[in-house]
Structure 1
Amino acid sequence: MVTIITDVRVPAREFPLGRILEDYPDVEIELEQLVPTQTGVMPLFWVDSGSEGAVAETLTNDPLVEDITLLTRTPTRVLYSVDWSPDVDALVRTLVDLGVDVLTATGTAESWDFRLQFRKQTDLERFRRACQRQDIDVELLELYNPLMPPEKGPLTSEQHDILATAYESGYWDVPRKTTQEELAELIGVND
C-alpha cells in the first residue's frame, strides 16, 4: 500500500466554514478534526479568541448549522464543535464518503488549504473525479509519498506548471491518459 499525501486549496465558497467567514476576512480557522456522525458531519475547529463572538453568531444563524458548542478555551483560541445538517456541501460529503483523511486544514474568507491523505492511488483518483463531477474547484499544491520526504521550500513556478500540466493531462489518472514521453513532449523536456 502506497500512501499519498496531497496539499490542495479550495475557494472558501466550496467549504461551509469558508462561506460563513465572508464577512470576516481577517479571521482564520484551523480545522482540528472532521468527524462523520450517523446524521451528518461534525467539525472541530479553532478560532482566534478575539473573533469568537462574530464566528459564533454567524454559525448560529447559518442554515447548515444545527448546533454549535464551545468545547474549550485557551488564552488565545477557542475550540468549537458544529453539528452540520445532513445537507452539508459536496466537498465535505465527498471527503467523508470516500474516507479521505484530513490531516490539516486552515482557512480564511478567501480559501482553504487542506493536507489530505489517501491510502491508495485509486482513492486519490476517485476524489478527483468526484470533485470534477460536482464542479468543486480544487487546486493541487503538492503531491508526495510520505515515505520520501519532500524537498524543503515551496515549488518553483516551473515545477508548479509541470505538475499542473501533468495533472490536467491525466498523467496520474488510473488508467493514465498520457504517457511520460507524451508529457515530456508537451512540457518540452527530455523524458
Structure 2
Amino acid sequence: MSVTLEFTVENDQFTLGQVLSGPPSMRIELERIVPTGTSAMPFLWVSGEDYASFEEKVVSHRFVEDIIAIDRVENAVLYRVTWHDDHTDLIRGITDAQGTVLQAFSNGGWEFHVRFPDHDKLSQFHNYTTDSGISIHINRTYTVTERTESVHQFGLSDEQREALVLGLRRGYFDTPSEASLDELANELGISQQAVSNRVRRGTKQVLSEILLSTAADFD
C-alpha cells in the first residue's frame, strides 16, 4: 500500500532550496519532477514582483544549466529548470525511491508531501537522507486509507476539498491574499460564485467539526 510522507527541510539542506532562497522574495511551488536520465527536472510555479532578478539568480547558480518560462498566467509563471548532471541531493533521493511529489512549496524553508509506492520505498528515501547528511523534519506519514478516513472525518465533499487545497496552495487565505476568487475559479473551470460557495461551506464544515466537537471542553 502506498504511503505519504509530509516533511519540512531547510533551504541549505538541498540544492533546489539553496538555488531558490534569498532575494527577490517570490512565492514558489514545485509543480512536478521529471526524471531525465541521471538528473531531475523540476517545474516551478513562481509568483512575485521581480521575475527578471529571479531568473538571473537561478541561472547564475553553478548547478543550473538553464531556466525557461514555459507558461504565464495572470499572477504566476511556470518555469522549467534544467540541471547539470553532477549534483545529487534531496530531489534525486525522491526520484530514486519512486516518490511522487504531491505538494512542495517554499515557506521560509520547504514543505514536501511525497507519496511512495510502499513502506520499503519510504525507508529507502529515509536511509538516503540519513546517508547523505540531509536533515529533514518528519511531520507525519499516512496511507491512502488513513488519509481517506481523515478527509471523511470533516465531512467535506471532493469539490470542497479541491477548492480549499487550491486556495491554500495559491495563497488565497494569506494576508494580504495572493490570489482572488476569480483566479481560483478560472483554474478550476467553474464560476466565481461556485468556488465561493465551496470555500465558504468547506471552511464552515472544517471549523464546525474541529471547534464544535471540542466546545464542551471549554464550557
**TM-score after normalising by structure 1:** 0.73
Q: Note the alpha carbon deviations across 1:62-82, whole angstroms, 9 max, x for none.
A: 111111111011110000001
Give the SS at the match of 1:148. Answer: helix
Partner of 1:38: 37
- Amino acid of the residue matched to residue 143 of structure 2? N
> Within the alignment, does 1:50 sit opposite 2:49 as a pair?
yes
Give the aligned residue type for 2:86: D
- Aligned counterpart, 1:127: 125
Q: Distance in 1 between matches of 2:62 and 2:52?
A: 18
Judging changes above 3 Å, is the alpha-carbon distance between structure 1 residues 72 and 49 closer, same or farther for their aligned structure 2 residues?
A: farther
Secondary structure of 1:99's partner?
A: coil
Partner residue in 1 for 2:9:
10
Look up the match of 2:212.
none
Return 5+ residue gaps in structure 1 as ranges: 154-191
What per-residue deviation string (whole Å, max 9, x for no partner) do you get for residues 4-52 of structure 1? Answer: 1111111111232321233227322100011111242111011104232
Q: 1:58 to 1:134 in 2, by over 3 A?
A: same
Aligned ranges 1:100-111 → 2 under 5 Å? 100-108=99-107, 110-111=108-109
Structure 1 match to 2:215: none
Structure 1 segments of 4 or more deviating over 3 A?
none
CA distance in 1, matches of 2:74, 2:42: 21
| 1:102 CA drift (Å) | 1.0
- Are the counterparts in 2 of residues 7 and 143 from structure 1 also a CA contact under 8 Å? yes
Task: Tell me, yes or no, if the aligned pair for 2:24 and 2:50 is still in contact at 8 Å.
Answer: no
1:40 and 1:144 map into 2 onto residues whose CA distance is 28
Change in Cα spacing, 1:84 to 1:39, as seen in structure 2 (3 Å) is: same
Normalising by structure 2, report the TM-score.
Answer: 0.64
| Rounded Cα–Cα distance in structure 2 between residues aligned with 1:24 and 1:50 | 11
Alpha-carbon distance in 2 for matches of 1:21, 1:35: 18
1:118 is aligned to 116
Identify the residue that residue 163 of structure 1 maps to in structure 2: none
Q: Counterpart of 1:27?
A: 26
Aligned-residue identity in percent: 28
Structure 2: 5+ residue stretches without partners: 155-219
Contact map agreement 1:41 1:85 (CA 8 A) in 2: no
The 5-angstrom pairing of residues 1-191 of structure 1 reads 2-24=1-23, 26-108=25-107, 110-149=108-147, 150=150
Deviations 1:78-111 (A, max 9, x none): 0000111112331112112221111111014x31
